[in-house]
Amino acid sequence: MKSKRKVFNNYEKINGGDYFVCDDLGRWGIFGEEEFAKISSGEKDMYSPEISGPWTEIEKPYRYPLLAKENYCGPSLHIMVITLACNHACLYCRVSPEAGGDMTTNMTARTAIKAVDAILSTPNENITVEFQGGEALLNWPVLKEAATYAMRKNVTAGKNLLLSIVTNFSLMDEDKFNFITENGISVCTSLDGPAELHNKNRRYGKTGAHDKVVYWIKRFLKANPGGEADSLPYALMTTTKHSLGMPEEIVEEYRKTGLGGIFIRPLSPIGQAGKIWEEIGYTPEEYEKFYSACLDKVFEINRAGDRFIERACVLLAKKLLQHKDPNYLDSKTPCGAATGQLAYNWDGKIYTCDEGRMVGAMGDDLFLLGKIGESSYGDILTAPAARTCCMASCVESQPKCCRCAFKYFCGLCPVHNYAVQGTPWGDINGSYWCGIQKAVFRTVLSAIKDEKKRDIIDGWLDWE
């Protein structure tokens, strides 16, 4: 008599009538309707040789790498908000930036030095210090002093230290370029697509900043000939409603700029973006269509012979196919708030993460952990906000997520929940965040099931 017991824990219907089935060890498979019917009735189990095929990953459970201790050895990303001032007026900016000339929200050199001291005394051996704003270059003297001090102090601290500057490039010049490249500092900028789209999303003066962004990306790429094509500099795109009709043009813009890949990212309905969501937002279904079209264009470029990656796809594929946690802080359980990253505000306040700091900039300190020079590392990691974020972002303790087949490969954002639903815990059932995660899962899993696309994705897995 055949067993009727269910041998899998969760399933999700994905594209093309297939089902994604995942057990509690993170072993998964993609099955057609017929096979799925046999599995769900108990006639077969997903591990049977006659039912498992090339689309199953049943040998290597994912749950163990997810718990690897190297992922939990203190925050590695330290964000120094060097100023709130900005000279852009981007549609979706999640902080209301201060006027470009207003330097009252500049971090002082004294605070910056104390922040570096605090950062280099945290336990993780791998430390990234990210200088950002507002527009970080508006407080260049302090940024330069803090970067120089960090490099000098690290001679004795002995960390694997990476310095990075997030900038819109509008104030980049030869002196800054030389300092950055000579000291091996990386830069990260925003590029939303072709000039028409970029300048519509990211408003700057009368002409927009697109051409300047492209110019400096090319200069930095040229200065880093030994690096990976997709390493230095980084560029990030943010999807607005205006992007939805331009997937091919956006991908092509990245390719022709010389970047080795693109990171397709959804917009969060937080802060300013939330206030004008009707104008710039979209549904998860619209995002899925857009993301799928972007990915198709990326595959087309690869089929024509160029290696050009899509990072959201790689991050997921590393978990699904390589059984590795890429330590992407917004997509792990618990998320990276406080345990993976810390944000040091211009005024010395320390927050769970950059997004928590943005909530603070709107006058709400729910995600505040402490103050530079006053709070110990222990105070910070045991602050109520740190504990709240850990509990709220643990997929296994969320009633909706704990029954979801994607849970081991997914992540939750307490700041998003709080901004959109009024509580860090949130209501995941039907939440926008969840809708977007599922859209990405369905698209990537469909690509993995397509033999030709899978070959291309396999070729990206060495990306770090």
Question: Looking up tokens 């607005």, which residue turns up?
Answer: 240
| Count of residues in the chain | 464
Pairing of strands 19-22, 56-57: unpaired
If one asks whether residue 401 binds ligand SF4 (CB under 6 A), the answer comes out as yes
Please report how close the Cβ of residue 406 comes to ligand SF4 at its closest, in angstroms.
Answer: 4
How far is the C-alpha of 463 from the C-alpha of 130, rounded, in Å?
Answer: 21
Scanning residues 140 to 169, which ones bind ligand SF4 (CB under 6 A)? 168
If one asks whether residue 284 binds ligand SF4 (CB under 6 A), the answer comes out as no
Contacts with ligand SF4 by CB under 6 A: the residue count is 39
Strands (E), 154-272: 160-166, 186-190, 202-203, 234-238, 261-262, 264-265
Beta-carbon contacts of 366 under 8 Å, excluding residues fewer than 6 positions away, are 356, 359, 385, 418, 424
Among 46, 90, 342, 386, binds ligand SF4 (CB under 6 A): 90
Nearer to ligand SF4, 12 or 117 (CB): 12
Tokens linked to 75: 């925050």
Among 344, 355, 419, 440, binds ligand SF4 (CB under 6 A): 355
If one asks whether residue 233 binds ligand SF4 (CB under 6 A), the answer comes out as no
Tokens linked to 154: 């690290």
Please report how close the Cβ of residue 44 comes to ligand SF4 at its closest, in angstroms.
Answer: 25
Please report how close the Cβ of residue 447 comes to ligand SF4 at its closest, in angstroms.
Answer: 17
Among 113, 330, 350, 432, binds ligand SF4 (CB under 6 A): 330
Q: Report which of 15, 16, 21 is spatially closest to residue 51, judged by C-alpha positions.
A: 21
Among 29, 233, 336, 426, binds ligand SF4 (CB under 6 A): 336
Burial zone of 229 (CB within 10 Å; 0-12 exposed, 13-18 middle, 19+ buried): middle
How far is the C-alpha of 272 from the C-alpha of 408, rounded, in Å?
Answer: 31
Output DSSP code: residue 396. G
If one asks whether residue 134 binds ligand SF4 (CB under 6 A), the answer comes out as yes
* CB-based contact 333:393 (threshold 8 Å): yes
Q: Of 106-114, 115-123, 407-415, 443-451, which part binds ligand SF4 (CB under 6 A)?
A: 407-415
Residue ranges binding ligand SF4 (CB under 6 A): 86, 88-90, 93, 97, 133-135, 168, 202, 329-330, 335-337, 341, 352-353, 355-356, 389, 393, 395, 400-401, 404, 406-407, 410, 412-416, 428, 434, 437-438
